[in-house]
Amino acid sequence: MPSLPSKTLETFPNPAPGRDFHIHMEIPEFTCLCPKTGQPDFATLILDYIPEKTCVELKSLKLYIWSFRDQGCFHEDVTNRILDDLVKVGLRATLVGVVGIAVPFALGAYVVGPALLPGQSDNTYLFLGATLAATSVGITGRVFRDLGRLGMAEARIVLGAAVIDDVLGLVILAVVSSLVQAGSVSVGQVGMIVLEAVAFLGGSIIIGRLLARHLAGRLARLDAGPSMLFALVLASGLFLAWLAHAIGLAPIIGAFAAGLLFEPVYLKDFETPAVVRDVDAALPESTSESLRQLLRKVLEKHTRHQHEHMVEPIGYFFVPVFFVLTGMQVDLQTLADPQVVVVALGITVAAVIGKLVAGFAAGRGHNAWIVGWGMVPRGEVGLIFASVGKQLGVVSETMFSVIVIMVILTTLLTPPILTLLLRRKETK
């Protein structure tokens, strides 16, 4: 099916958000109609920018440029209109992420929490709000991928917003946890905790990346094999998790910061995976250049992400253990209580509404329902937040059961509803 011009600009998450790098694009085929004569006007557009959270997807940019072909406009006007649209693309994911945190948190902490669970402490309501603010897009991403829709604008907005949700959600968790431990809710105390959480995340990333380059190089001289790389990644995660706990923050914040440290450039001194070397060496001389380039892209992908592949099996062990421990904390008797079920359904409705509101922040030209439902699943993130609250003694057995039901419902509802919305969009 041939492509059609479009006014929708798509983006994808910046693969190296911690580094400033320059992107240069030249588009020599730009054309529009002269507003004076009605004749075609030709120009070469040059796009230079340093990405922050997102990058512009090239195919959508070409289709966007194509959309000006039959429009009468001056080149000076078009240039500024394109600049304005490019800026808006990055802002959409940011806005969706911020709204997707603020609205569910407010609903949980100040509306449905006090209304459905009266008599609880302020800290309990704050933890409920933090749990509703969480987002886990693993399931959503799988739906987009299985349907071949990862490249659509709504999918990229959801994935970009999820990064913002992760950071803001962790800051909220740090603030709420520290407030519970300190027993203070003053404005000054909240401000200090926020600064502490942000400083820890920022400091860990900045200082860690300065040290990572040198530390990785020194360790690679001792042993450049996969065992040393595995030990480096695992030790960094455990150390930062401990450091976060030592200064009064949730260990998950430290673990998250550790995950942001590792980029292929810092691990370039380690050996290329053996399978990559063997495949590269086995390519016959007669291999066409196009096939050789295609295979090299695949091999480079595995080379860049070898540390992820090594750590991933650990998750296969610890994730089931986490869910077993979470299940052991659920009192089945509370699940049989009709009142608890009713409260859980009310909390689930609030959780869904909060994320659907965020979907409308994507703006015109995007399907707000797809974006909103893409942000709905809480998954393991919501359970982690609830577990932290239970360890601190502010989340009761009943509250924990309510949150578990909410997590299960939002996780089960999202795939079929999102699939239906995506298929409806395809048929239009």
Per-residue DSSP letters for 239-296?
HHHHHHHHTTS-HHHHHHHHHHH--GGGGTTSPPPHHHHHHHHH--TT--HHHHHHHH
Residues 6 or more apart in contact with residue 330 via CB below 8 angstroms: 400, 401, 404
Quick one: pLDDT at residue 187?
A: 63
At residue 28, the 3 state secondary structure works out as: strand
Over the chain, what is the mean pLDDT? 76
Q: Is the pLDDT of residue 1 over 50?
A: no
96-131 pLDDT, tens digit per residue, is: 888 888 999 999 889 998 998 888 888 888 888 888
Q: Is the pLDDT of residue 291 over 50?
A: yes
Task: Calculate mean pLDDT across residues 370-392.
Answer: 84
Residue with the larger pLDDT of the pair 317 and 239: 239
Domain boundaries, the chain: 11-72, 91-427
Which residue among the candidates 20, 32, 34, 269 is catalytic per the annotation? Answer: 34
pLDDT band at 293 (very low <50, low <70, confident <90, very high): low
156-169 pLDDT, tens digit per residue, is: 788 778 777 777 77
Would you state the structure tokens that stand for residue 184, as one six-digit string?
């203070």
Fold of 11-72: GTP Cyclohydrolase I, domain 2 (3.30.1130)
Which residue among the candidates 32, 41, 55, 166 is catalytic per the annotation? Answer: 41
Quick one: pLDDT at residue 192?
A: 74
Residues 6 or more apart in contact with residue 193 via CB below 8 angstroms: 174, 175, 178, 179, 182
H-only helix segments in 283-394: 289-304, 306-328, 332-335, 338-359, 368-374, 379-391
Give me the percent of the chain exceeding a pLDDT of 70.
Answer: 76
Examine the residue annotation and report whether 34 is marked as an active-site residue of this protein. yes
Residues 6 or more apart in contact with residue 392 via CB below 8 angstroms: 127, 177, 180, 181
183-197 pLDDT, tens digit per residue, is: 655 666 667 777 777
Q: Which CATH number fits domain 91-427: 1.20.1530.20, 3.50.50.60, 1.10.150.170, 2.40.110.10?
A: 1.20.1530.20
Quick one: pLDDT at residue 186?
A: 62
* Model confidence pTM above 0.75: no
pLDDT band at 2 (very low <50, low <70, confident <90, very high): very low
Task: Calculate mean pLDDT across residues 373-396.
Answer: 84
216-247 pLDDT, tens digit per residue, is: 777 777 777 777 777 877 888 888 888 888 87
335-350 pLDDT, tens digit per residue, is: 777 888 888 899 999 9
Closest CA to 351 of 411, 398, 422: 411
Q: Do domains 11-72 and 91-427 have the same CATH topology?
A: no
Q: What is the CA radius of gyration of the chain?
A: 24
Give me the percent of the chain exceeding a pLDDT of 90.
Answer: 5
pLDDT band at 257 (very low <50, low <70, confident <90, very high): confident
Quick one: pLDDT at residue 417?
A: 92
Q: Are 65 and 8 in contact (CB under 8 A)?
A: no
Task: Calculate mean pLDDT across residues 238-262.
Answer: 79
Give me the residue label for tokens 């709420």. Answer: 176
Examine the residue annotation and report whether 55 is marked as an active-site residue of this protein. no
